[in-house]
Structure 1
Amino acid sequence: MAQREQLEHQLVEIMHLQRYTEKLLATMKDGLISMDMEGRLVTINPAASEMLRLSGDAQKGRYVKELLEGIPPLKNYLEELLSSPVRARMQEQFFVEREEESQILLANSSLLMDPVGTTLEVITNLHDITELKKLELRMRQTERLAALGTLAAGMAHEIRNPLSAIKTFVQLLPRKLEKPGFLDKFHRTVPRELDRINRLIEDLLELSRSPKYHFRTVDIRRMIEDTVELFEEELRSWRITHHIRFDPNMPAVRADVDQLTKAFQNLIRNAVQAMPEGGEIWIEASGVKTCPPGEEGSNRQNGWMTIVFKDTGYGISGENLKTIFNPFFTTKDTGTGLGLAITHKVIVEHGGHIDVKSRPGEGSCFTIYLPAECDGSS
């Protein structure tokens, strides 16, 4: 009798748990589907039925590959999970073409296992991020318009100065053509100002274009040594001593050699210009597991390669640090103010981050973070 009461009690609990689970699934805004290891649909909640245009419970027991024939990316994703369950925790984004409007879904999957570790089902959560992506697009468009206004204003300012100098010399030319020394000054100034405009246009084109990157596993050690070699004569003439240190266990990274070298050159040139009376520059490369500052959610299994450029120059004020990577930002009399903006663009397009720490009179320290390809020597 007691055993029967116990079984009835357990049955009530099971039925209660079943109703609770059904209620929970029904009220979820995210879609949820599960399939057995044969690829047959086991569970689908109302949100998933609506997202995938399926009729819910009527589809249970059917093969998912048949049900999702009209959504190839999601069908392929689920079939890959069946063939390789170890990929279950991977996150994927899908574009679902609809007659009225395309839909963007974010999928996360996990495995349901029995007590001995046998996989019973693959459970997939579907989150509709269509509106979020629309908002992101509108924000990017707003940012582009604001950036375009900044670029236009900055370019007008930067071009106006050399054009004013050229205009002045051209206006004075008829009156001072015979004056001793005028032509010499004319020949020095006008080409120099034209070169300044040309450099500005070249840097603007570099900043605005989207070059085709050729990523491959690179030798960071060799890249840094080759870049420093280009500056050796300049460093010597400015009485700047350089120090290079490499972690013997640096991770490997994938990069575009030409673009990343350009970023290194800009940082070394920036350091040289910050030390007109001489000084020291340190360049260090190593591997770290911690994520970049301000990117606490970006920890990676393989960690990061860091390349540090540190100098003993005049430093940067806290106010200027906020805008140091903006186009046309510069505290120097020479240059276009686009070098650091180009550097930032290159690093971001490598999936990396760049951080700067500086105080007036104490030098600057730029740290590049690049995603490590794997552990081991670069």
Structure 2
Amino acid sequence: MISTVKSKLFQRTLIIMVFAFGIIAAACSIVAGWILYDHLTSEYESKAIAIGNSITTSLPEVFLKNDAATDQSIIDQYLSIKGVAYALVKTAQGEIIAHTFSPDIPEDILEIVEANTPSVDPRTGLVETRLLQTPSYIDVCSPILMGEAGYVHIGMDMSMINTYIFDAIVKMQAILFVVLLICVIIAFFLIRRISHPLTTLTEYANQLANHHFDAMVPIASNDELGLLARTMQGMAQRINGLIQGLEAKIQNATSELQDTNLYLSTLVDNMADGLLVTNEKGEILSFNPAIQNIFGLEANNMDIHSLTELLDPEAMHHLEQQGILDYTSQLRSMVFTPETLRKGVVQSELATHTQDGTAIWLEFSLRSITLKCGVQCILVIRDITARKQAQTELETLNNELEARIKRRTHKLEASNALLRKEVQTRKAAEDALQVEKELFGTTLRSIADGVITLDNQGKILFINHAMEQLGGWSAKKVVHTQFCTHFNVMINGHHPLYLNRDSQDRMMLKRLETEQNALFTTHDGRVLEIALRVLPLYDKQSNIKGQVLIMRDITDVKRQEKERLKTEKLESIGILAGGIAHDFNNILTAVLNYILLAMKHPILDTIPYEYLNKAHKAALRAQQLTQQLLTFSKGGAPIVELTGIKDLITDSVTFALHGSNIKTSISIAPDIWNAEIDTGQIAQVLENIAINACQAMPKGGTLTITAHNVMVGNRSTLPLRPGKYIKIMLADNGPGIALENLEKIFDPYFTTKKTGSGLGLATSYSIIKNHHGHIGVTSNPGQGTTFSIFLPAIDTEICTSIPRTPLQIGEGRGTILLMDDDASIREVMEETLGFLGYEVITTPDGAATIEIYRQHLASGKRIDLVIMDLTIPGGMGGKETVGKVLDLDPDAKVIVSSGYSQDPIMADYESYGFIDILAKPYSLEEVGKKIAHILGRPTTS
């Protein structure tokens, strides 16, 4: 039991009471002292003034005489008044004639008297009584007869006031102390009554703190303390029950956690993949037995501390190059990069070796987690050596298969080469026959063929003017000189035309009865291709007197022949590409729509939908490929539409340079105008220029693309109409173009590359011209090349469709007649349009279409829309059929469809009677929106 005196509550109460009483006592003393001081001071001042006035008003005649003895006797009697310290009389001239001091007046009193001299009030003109208070005295100076008879000073003693005040404060403090003592005694008994149960509650709380929840509190009172004690005891009992329940749950949770740990440990120890736990520095914290099997660790040598001890330095460098970790080979230390730790999951493949040196391939997945103890990295490692070996064997088999195919087709290529040679031989024979027919007439008429006449010794006897122009020598210089001195002729490109002595000791050239191709070097060093004949000259006796050489320049003919062959080859390839693209578009139409039908099936699961979505995207990429084939094969007028140029530039250049080592820098003005262009053709132009830049920079470089708005005025030097244009500039930092080649850069078939066709820039030039634009090039050797493209611009905003609800199944109403020669197109479109709610009739050609349309008109069943394939092999296509349908029904609505999206009819469809076009391949969404728009029913994408 704690005593009341030692009780903290009593001690705090006592301190508070003493502090409070101290403040009260101090405040009371200050207030009482100030009140007494003010009251006594006022009383002394009044008394001094009253004494002074009494003296000056009752005895003025006495003071006028200035009798010092009389004055002294008068003022001495005032010393008996309580509080009067002194009195003195001073003449008007300031001389003191009587005072109550003995023997002399103190200096401090003299200073007070001199300082307290009355003055005349300027308002009243009277001399008034003046009061001066000092710490020791209150001096009152009263004038006698307005100061004429002098002044009386009465001094009141302030020490008596201070003594009185001190005595009063001491009595007050004594009373307050008695009151304080009484309060302390009362508080002692009150606190003792309160602190005893509190002390009991404190001891009970300490027992609860020591987990003695079964202890009983010995307080049975009905007041607040008793209620508090009973409440604490009830809480203790409930806490005891709660703790017991928690202990049981903890025991159960611990058992479950142990079972879970055992399960996970068994799972990790028996999994085929290796599991490795490291910190962010690659220090190994734990691993499962599969790691031992993968890396060939021995049971007695499991002392592996770091990932760098498991993987080869080459493997570590490989991971460093991938940005997964930072590796210091000298210290054999590593740390995972912040990017790796931030990504969450990182996967990679690498080659390394086991402890016994066996080469293995590993696939690992890394995931970082942040715990209270720090960042830990979990690596799941799988041995994929067998899979890599299988891939290598598969590649070997593929290579062997390709080699076998090449060997099997080699004989076919050789046969084709022999066939081409035979055709060329036959054509050469025909040409030689034609030359032979013309030779005689040409010689007689002195045509432009070069003619040289030699004697039997090989000396030149004659050359004609054509030969002078062909070779560059004048007749005067070469006549009567040896032929070999001036002329260099190579038969078939490598056999020189030499003079040889025959059996009759004549210097004769090899006889060429038929015209042969040869190379002829002119005087200025140019090498020309010529057709050469060497014939003997006979005299009248038919003796050989010499020879005649007939040379004809066929350089341009050979060049044109090569260009013709190249053109024929490209045309054949183009026809093949167009046919393939057309058929492929038909197939793509079926594939795309079947995929879209499957994607819109109501019971389709999420995962199959994703696969179908990927297949749909792949089919769209195939569609882009067919568009490029059609552009290559047909060209034609552009099918223009209002287009934003920004995405077109970015997508085209990125597509062309995909997989190359060329960097791109694209800067397009944010306020770039729109343009009415054929996006496919303009994309082809951009891709051609980007591919040329890539080929000009085989070791890598940068292609800079800029686009901004320009205004072309009347004074512009550009071959453009005044107006708004979009200027696109593509600049590379390659070797540039030689000055002599710069003017021929857009010529057909001109190329400086061994494998180039020379048509890319020529096609680009034609496309830009067809768009009423301009394309130019500037280049300096060693400083790169810049192409500038100007396209007419329109500052009209591209209209975006108002958001509407998705295309609804079965909402279509009307009858649609579909004409297509491809059965798969008819089948898929019948399902697609039926899926949208339309009644569909299909026909394979124009004749059937006209007959069906005629029957419906006769029966009164109107066909709302006709979709016609433009080309029907062996039958009537859309171009011929639409006119006949319009003859039957001028209000007929007909859409033309074709796999040749760049056919001229597709670009000018309205001139042929069509109201719209559908370029194959078309999708369910596209055809649904097109039909609904034409029939006047709103749809949305």
TM > 0.5: no
TM-score normalised to structure 2 length: 0.19
TM-score, reference length from structure 1: 0.44
Greater relative contact order (Cα < 8 A, sep 6+): 1
